[in-house]
Chains A and B, each alone.
Chain A
């Protein structure tokens, strides 16, 4: 009985935390409907759908959002693959260079963003590499890599290797074993790492601001607009990102209910 009560309490608590994290998003959504008269969008002046109709009125903002999404998706995929591999290696195997790998992973996390951005810019300038979407993606992979490695390793460490041995004894090849046994076992870690990588990428300002050349991302565009007032279209775009996310979450929940 006590157990059930405790579970309900924790369930409620979890939703409370979600509500707390989401509270500012509610404000953002509301101000996407604000019929503001001047450039500033900070006091409520009436309801309108205007900003939804004029969502793509500013082409540079739209372009920035598209850039952000593109970089986030590509860098998340790259980071997840590279990071999962290193996380697996570190959590499962003994090999030369392990201590150094750990050191690099920790060092990359502890590098202040500004230092990472500035040092990458010097590298690209000395290499005469044109800055743009590619260099932004490279940088995003770099700073999210450690987060994926650490998350995946937290899952891999202590997993029972006997399943994989059994699969191999049954004649499964390395790739088959990985696909059918290892990957499903570490999947929660991989997914969590990927979500962290996506969140880190789509929200990054400091590092991106060094390596972007003249390409703008969503956070960069918004930061620039702060001086003169953020147009409500930004709120609407935020709302759409959030809405699509919620839709995915709900679809996922319904799908999993059907499966049961």
Chain B
């Protein structure tokens, strides 16, 4: 039976398949080389830098003058950031006659930016009139590269009237030149009360050898850097490069001491609610939702400091319907619309009047619904107290490319060892 096989182990036909046609391959290589050249041509000039300075008021006015509403708006947002019935958007359409297209296409800042950047660089519109991004590195790059439209605040009266002062003129976007907040959240310590019997108040708990292997930290450089700095008593906004180094060293020591189990992305919340980690850096909204589900998780803004981050609405360069976009952004700053959003999203709203509106609404409800809404209104995770706000800080945001690289390098060396 073995006739076709010269060797007992190797199928010669198989060998032929692997090794054939040496003579002709030189020609193939030329063909490949031709295609390669076409590929090189695609990127011949490298990627052009387009770093832009902040726009002059006259430029902003120039952009907006003569712009009309088009009766259409495309809103790109994160999933679960708008009630499923799209209530606020439908109301907007009824009132203004502007048709909306709502797309839940943003899953992560980095991947959204990574995908959008080549298009924006090529001067192609993204096809969205509003996008929502967190105030991190990617948002800073959108600004620096001139990929955003400067907003016309004359067309944002509700924002001016209803947004809390602390949400105006943020360090990451002075004068709200390019963005207004959509919703905010806090980064603090989330812990599982089944395993952690003491009340956690200090950030030092995350560095306590008694929780060895049961501590979770975040993988994001800006998030973890803040906690390294808080632990050393340094304010992130005022931190110098030398401070970053100290913070990175502190975090490396924490890792090498076996205290950190893992550097998490968004999956920390499952880990802490199941007890895989006992305490971890965490986001307020996540913890609030687990509490609603009756899971034994608590959240605290450490006395040394916590982080406040904001997801912001902005108009990308090349948007087809900028006026309609502004109208929608401003509409979402009506107190009653903001209340509807907050009730669904369960993160921190930039509109303080929402608290009273939801309190009033809860009073009119009965049973389970009433209890749930009351819990939300009273929760410091959705409506942080003034005392909490004084402890909150923004991210470290190095402006210079060399500093950005150094910053990322220091903290990624910790999280990706």
Contacts and interface: CB of A to CB of B under 8 A. Distances in A.
Interface of A: 36-40, 42-43, 45, 57-58, 60, 90-91, 94-100, 102, 118, 121-123, 125-126, 128, 153, 157-158, 160, 209-210, 212-214, 216, 220-221, 223-229, 231
Contacts of B118: 121-122, 125
A38 B293 contact: yes
A39 B80 CA distance: 9
A125 B122 contact: yes
A233 B25 CA distance: 53
A226 B289 contact: no
Nearest to A160: B4
Interface in B269-294: 269-270, 273-274, 285-286, 289-290, 292-294
A158 B294 contact: no
B253 interface: no
A163 B16 CA distance: 20
B295 interface: yes
Nearest to A98: B21
Given A60-B104, A158-B14, 10 more contacts: A38-B293, A43-B295, A96-B23, A96-B24, A97-B24, A121-B115, A158-B13, A160-B4, A209-B111, A214-B127
Interface residues of B, number: 58
A126 B42 contact: yes
Interface stretch (B26-34, B139-147, B223-231): B26-34
Contacts of B399: none
B17 A90 contact: yes
B78 to A, nearest CB: 6
Nearest to B372: A37
Interface string B96-109: 00000001111110
B292 A228 contact: no
Contacts of A36: 293
A224 to B, nearest CB: 4
Interface in B316-360: 346
B76 interface: yes
Contacts of B111: 209
B256 interface: no
Contacts of A37: 292-294, 372
A59 to B, nearest CB: 9
25 contacts: A39-B289, A40-B290, A40-B293, A43-B295, A57-B84, A58-B84, A91-B17, A94-B21, A97-B24, A99-B19, A100-B32, A157-B11, A157-B17, A158-B11, A209-B111, A210-B115, A214-B103, A220-B107, A221-B79, A224-B104, A227-B78, A227-B107, A227-B266, A228-B79, A229-B80
Nearest to A101: B28
B124 interface: yes
A226 B80 CA distance: 10
A132 B186 CA distance: 35
Given A57-B84, A125-B124, A38 B42 contact: no
Contacts of B270: 42
**9 shortest interchain CB distances as A-B pairs:** A96-B24, A224-B107, A100-B28, A38-B292, A228-B80, A224-B79, A38-B293, A98-B21, A99-B25
Contact of B105 (A121, A210, A216): A216
A100 B21 CA distance: 9
B65 interface: no
B288 to A, nearest CB: 8
B266 A226 contact: yes
Nearest to A100: B28
Given A57-B84, A210-B115, A38 B289 contact: yes
Given A97-B24, A125-B124, A224-B106, A157 B13 contact: yes
A125 B23 CA distance: 38
A60 B80 CA distance: 11
Interface string B298-312: 000000000000000
B119 interface: yes
A160 B19 CA distance: 20
Contacts of A229: 80, 289
A158 B4 contact: yes
Nearest to B4: A158
Contacts of B21: 94-99
Nearest to A231: B80
